[in-house]
A and B are shown apart, each in its own frame.
Chain A
Amino acid sequence: MNALARIFATPQGIVFLVAVLFALVLGLLNPAFFTPSTLIDLARNGLVTGIFALGVMMVLASGGIDVSHTAIGAFAMYATMKIILGIDLDLPIIAYFVIAAAIGAGLGLINGLLIGGLGLNTLIVTLGTLSFFRGALLTFLGTTYITSVPREVINFSRTILIRIENAVGQMVSLPASFLVLVAVTIVLAIIMNFTLFGRKVYAIGGSEEAAQRIGIRIKRVKVLIYVIAGAIAGLAGMTHVTLSRMANPFDLVGMELNVIAAVVLGGARITGGHGTVLGTLLGVFVITMINTTLLMAGVPSYWQKFVIGCLIIVGTGLPIVFDRLAKHRQRMARPLEA
């Protein structure tokens, strides 16, 4: 196989290819697509998905899966707003994020103890906690929208990093919340690549038994994975508030499939051991581009689900098919000998 073919035999390669084709078609239909404002639009729309996806990527790299992250995010954002409104103090915006992350970490700890401590199946546990966290939020914390968010949140959401005019003369802006994604990206990249903990995550994803045999304390690592993933989900929830300027307890839950799709398209394998920060962001970018542009083009929203479903199947299935074909070809190229 030549180099190009090898790139396209990876999920990222195919995703990238599809994304480029998609962008080209959109560019042909609508010349305004290839403008910087589109990029800013996408960055803004993919912000929350991106933060969630980074946490999920870490879980997938360890060989697990987390579907409860959106419920953690929703719980953390709503609880944070309740707490701050309740104590009625002027806290700096950073405190909001710290509280949300702490709540997220606490909920993640529940996942971690069930999965790492008791050794339960990750999908079953997080499916359970998805419902549990969401139910707890709506039952005990409330079902009303919080529209009167504190001044700090409003101020923060009005802080703009970049503002440009798009083709039709509207202003497109990138809010300061984008910095949360940047920060999570940097921190997670450091954790995954430059700390032993990060390498242990990949090791466990590669072979749990082997990891145990060389003395990695699997339970501890797993608990920490879900705590960190929970904290990241909390940050995503809080970021969502700063974008929408209100806290709606019904938000976020429902987008977990989107998030997981982005992570898988970004090269993380459901079987564990693989996944990169950069690949995940690429996956998020593609998913966001498809969602946003289909919406802009007036395509009904259920088409988005259809397209994303196709992408997941193609993105994960095609490399396997390629791999099999390559192996078959390799075998047939050999002489008729033993």
Chain B
Amino acid sequence: MNDEASQSTPILQMHDIRKAYGPVRVLEDVNLELSTGEVRCLAGENGSGKSTLIKILSGVVSADAGQVSLNSRQLGNDPMGAITAGLSVIYQDFSLFPNLSVWENIGFLTSVTSEDVLHRRSARRRLAIDTLKRMQVEIDPDAPVELLPVASKQLVAIARALANRARIIVMDEPTTALTRSEVAHLLEIVSALKKEGVSFLFVSHKIEEVFAVCDTVTVLRDGSVVVEGPIGAFDSERLVEAMTGRSVDSQRLPREESPVQRPFLAAEGLGRRGNFADVDLELRPGEIVSVVGLLGSGRTELAQTLFGYMKPDAGRIAIDGEAVSFKNQHDAIDRGIAYVPEDRLTEGLFLSQPIRDNITVSSLEKSTRFGIVRAAGLMQRARDAIKNLRIKAPDVTPAVATLSGGNQQRVVLARWMERDPKLLILNGPTVGVDVGSKREIHELLVSLSRSGTAVMVVTDDIAEAIALSDRILVMVRGRITASFDAATVDEDTLYNEVIREDRT
């Protein structure tokens, strides 16, 4: 199949694409080709420039230099042009209309491209039903999309592209939210469509799927193509190495062993309906514990329950040996627990506010005398914090939005440090952070833990868990299925444990 793909003329060509946002170069001389019926994987870590490349391809963002041509015709900076030329992008959020029915969603793209004036109900509905039939999936065409499960939304998004006779389908991390069997089904559909001559550009960093479905692979790192070729020329180690730029047996951060201490927080038989069950957990000062699991494994819910944001249905939580029941997160904060949320941009920061205010907002009482906040005190604490956490900022007054991702994450950390937490829970602490900052944040967390704070990290990044933690707990479908000593476990063992779906 590989040979077949390489012989036909490319249907899509991207040539010397360049893009910079201000001083930051996101893409540099990127070349990419796609033949009829080819499935190409676009692999790369977060921040490698994958999303920007897709946006340029779909015409949403314009490139600073370079050309995109489809069927030997050059594409301009126009989403409509790309769509009519047969290119459909399926975004991670699927970009469906939640308020409209399944059939209307599927037919909408076709209606727009054929520039209908009237709403052709019966024709579009039939088109949608036919397309779903062709994909051999059973979804009620009249159901509103907002009521569908995630996997079905994914299929509706594919059906919408197919209904518009898409020849190239770009899928941005299509399997993030799917279960294993749903992924298998998706890959089957991809293979079937490939036989009909549809080409796919599969954006993913899940090595397993890349090997299961792709013919060729292009690896992007820091905005450039580092390696490209048929999938047969790769094995998983080489691919990971190409993506990360370092060998697989990654560098675990050096640390001094700390004596085992009494747990600060202990959970026993903790359960919450539909999220997790039978979780036993001990978090000790001087120790970093990672909870590793896929999206939907209950890892986030567990973290939020420990922080008092959600209530458990079963089990007990004890702090310093004393049973507690948090009514809300304020109770947890009062007991010295801090939580750095998953999406620091939407959940954690006031982006348009100065760095100073972001750092000091949850610890104003420290600089308050007789109910009045002293501005000078805030200023001083914020300055100390950016020095301690090595936040790269000219001063503490610019808005947080002006900082890079890694520095923004550090501002969130700084805010919690101001409260001197006894337990710091971090959810995906380095998502969207570049490799260098990632390492620095890790170092920061290690030194924090050695100074006597209990740290719990929730992540799906296996390399991060190994580099950072002392102990790794694996969460599969809401249960802790394994516990490893981070110093001795290797990445493969851990990976296989994390993706294990069938419980024994």
Contact = CB atoms under 8 A, between A and B. Distances in A.
B277 A337 contact: yes
Interface string A191-210: 00111111110110111011
A203 B89 contact: no
Contact of B273 (A200, A206, A334): A334
Contact of B117 (A193, A195, A216): A195
A216 B58 CA distance: 14
A113 B117 CA distance: 23
Interface string B288-324: 0000000000100000000000000110000000000
Among B83, B100, B121, B298, find the residue whose CB has the most chain A CB atoms closer than 10 A.
Answer: B100
Interface string A12-54: 0000000000000000000000000000000000000000000
Given A193-B119, A199-B104, A336-B313, A214 B112 contact: yes
B95 A210 contact: yes
B79 A273 contact: no
26 contacts: A194-B119, A195-B118, A196-B117, A198-B119, A199-B100, A202-B97, A202-B100, A203-B97, A203-B100, A206-B98, A206-B99, A206-B100, A207-B96, A207-B98, A212-B79, A213-B58, A214-B79, A214-B95, A214-B160, A215-B80, A274-B99, A336-B271, A336-B273, A337-B478, A338-B271, A338-B479
A209 B98 contact: no
A198 B112 CA distance: 12
A214 B108 contact: yes
B58 A273 contact: no
Nearest to A198: B119
Contact of A195 (B89, B97, B119): B119
B99 A199 contact: no
A112 to B, nearest CB: 20
What 8 A-B pairs have minimum CB-CB distances, sorted nearest first?
A: A338-B478, A273-B99, A206-B97, A210-B95, A215-B80, A206-B99, A196-B116, A334-B273
Given A194-B118, A194-B121, A198-B119, 15 more contacts: A195-B117, A196-B111, A199-B100, A210-B95, A210-B96, A213-B79, A213-B89, A213-B95, A214-B79, A214-B95, A215-B83, A331-B273, A336-B313, A338-B277, A338-B479
A211 interface: yes
Contacts of B113: 215
A172 to B, nearest CB: 40
Contacts of A214: 79, 83, 95, 108-109, 112, 160
A89 interface: no
Nearest to A333: B273
Interface residues of A, number: 30
A332 interface: yes
Contacts of B112: 196, 200, 214-216
A86 interface: no
Interface in B76-104: 79-80, 83, 89, 91, 94-100, 104
Interface of A: 193-200, 202-203, 205-207, 209-216, 273-274, 331-332, 334-338
Given A196-B117, A331-B273, A273 B98 contact: yes
Contacts of A215: 79-80, 83, 109, 112-113
A57 to B, nearest CB: 14
Contact of A207 (B79, B97, B160, B298): B97
Nearest to B298: A338
Interface residues of B, number: 38
A216 B80 CA distance: 8
A64 B350 CA distance: 25
Nearest to B94: A210
B292 to A, nearest CB: 16
Contacts of A198: 119
Contacts of B119: 193-196, 198-199
Contacts of B60: 212-213
B202 interface: no
B275 interface: yes
Contacts of B91: 213
A338 B275 contact: yes
A337 B111 contact: no
Contacts of A196: 111-112, 116-119
B416 interface: no
Interface of B: 58, 60, 79-80, 83, 89, 91, 94-100, 104, 108-109, 111-113, 116-119, 121, 160, 271, 273-277, 298, 313-314, 477-479
Nearest to A269: B99
A331 B301 CA distance: 14
Contact of B97 (A210, A335, A336, A337): A210
Nearest to B80: A215
A188 B448 CA distance: 63
B105 to A, nearest CB: 9
B51 to A, nearest CB: 13
Among A199, A209, A212, A332, find the residue whose CB has the most chain B CB atoms closer than 10 A.
Answer: A199
A273 B98 CA distance: 8
Nearest to B164: A214
Contacts of A194: 118-119, 121
Contacts of B83: 214-215
A332 B95 contact: no
A207 B277 contact: no
Given A338-B274, A338-B277, A273 B97 contact: yes
Contacts of B79: 212-215
Contacts of B271: 336, 338
Nearest to A205: B99
Nearest to A332: B273
A193 B104 CA distance: 12
A274 B98 CA distance: 10
Contacts of B98: 206-207, 273
B273 A337 contact: yes
B106 to A, nearest CB: 11
A202 B91 CA distance: 20
Contacts of B100: 199, 202-203, 206
A195 B118 CA distance: 4
A198 B120 CA distance: 12
A294 B108 CA distance: 46
Contacts of B58: 213
Nearest to A192: B119
A214 B100 CA distance: 15
Among B112, B275, B298, find the residue whose CB has the most chain A CB atoms closer than 10 A.
Answer: B112
Nearest to A212: B79
A332 B271 CA distance: 12
Contacts of B97: 202-203, 206-207, 210-211, 273
Contacts of B99: 202, 205-206, 273-274
Nearest to A191: B119
A73 B113 CA distance: 36
B36 to A, nearest CB: 24
B156 to A, nearest CB: 12
B21 to A, nearest CB: 19
Given A207-B97, A273-B97, A338 B314 contact: no
Nearest to A272: B99
A235 B298 CA distance: 56
Given A209-B95, A210-B96, A215-B83, A338 B276 contact: yes
A334 B89 CA distance: 37
A19 B96 CA distance: 36
Among A194, A202, A212, A336, find the residue whose CB has the most chain B CB atoms closer than 10 A.
Answer: A336
A39 B479 CA distance: 62
Given A196-B111, A331-B273, A336 B314 contact: yes
A214 to B, nearest CB: 5
